[in-house]
Amino acid sequence: MLFYKAWRESRIRFLMCAGAVTLLCVMVLVRARTQFPVPNNPNIPYTAFVWVNTFAGPVIGGNAVGFTYMALLLGLGGLQRERSARTSPFTLALPLTRSRLVATRALVGVLELIVIAAIPVVLIPTLSPWIAGRPYPVEQAALHTSLFLAWGTVWYAVGLCWSIVLSGEFAPVIACVLTPIGYMIAMVNVARLFGGSAISDSASPAFAAANFMYFMSGIGQMSPPNSGLFAGPLPWTAFTSLACVTLSLVALAATVTARQDF
């Protein structure tokens, strides 16, 4: 029942995000059918074309930002929103701890995020031979998706925290919109302290995992460069660090919820 309740609360947002990712994948393949090879640069491989349009974006990191806001959107909701709708007494009357409510909501949200991230893994390799007339390796789609999920779960947990700390309909949304912007401003300043001068400089090894746009886009993980092919081992240290951040944020959300007065 608790899982179903969390699903009912977030299903509209989930379906909107899943529909947007599905539409993006189909549009990329339709464009590949007519615009690949690229007229002004025919040497670009098909894997790079798919990477730029699906996992990187016209502006490098653009699609990562889009997925970031999807994750933040999925994190909204919860008891604060129910309090505004005057339905929180029913939820709080259930024979469940508040920590379990938060944990269940977080688990459902992460599962929804995994499904959304898996859409390119299924659609691009499956439909590419039929629509674009070219194969695309499923393992490449899975590798790029793993980068999206590593940071995506962090952003979901951030949205979860904002929805618990802030009340009302608009305050959590505004906070979610501003948080990635504020984070990147901070990242640029930190990069400058270490000798960088632009956002791209923070894609250096010292900042590879901390800069979510470049990490999710897979820049620096491709061989040969600009091939769109993920090479080398997965960044397990970064994955572990980001997972710890996610779990810490969820634990914080549960602790705050347990102490709130509804």
The two three-digit tokens of residue 109, written as one number: 């949200």
Q: Name the domain count of the chain.
A: 1
Rounded CA-CA distance 224/220 in Å is 10
* Exposed/middle/buried for residue 40 (C-beta within 10 Å: 0-12, 13-18, 19+): exposed
pLDDT at 201: 46
Rounded CA-CA distance 166/80 in Å is 7
pLDDT at 26: 94
Question: SS3 for 32?
Answer: helix
pLDDT at 195: 59
Question: SS3 for 68?
Answer: helix
pLDDT at 199: 47
Question: SS3 for 199?
Answer: helix
Q: Are 226 and 48 in contact (CB under 8 A)?
A: yes
The two three-digit tokens of residue 244, written as one number: 């710890």
Q: Which of 158, 191, 115, 150 is nearest to 199 (CA)?
A: 191
Q: What domain range includes position 52?
A: 2-259
- DSSP per-residue codes, 135-189: ---HHHHHHHHHHHHHHHHHHHHHHHHHHHHS-SSSHHHHHHHHHHHHHHHHHHH
Residues of the chain scoring pLDDT < 70: 1, 57-61, 78-96, 191, 194-208, 260-262
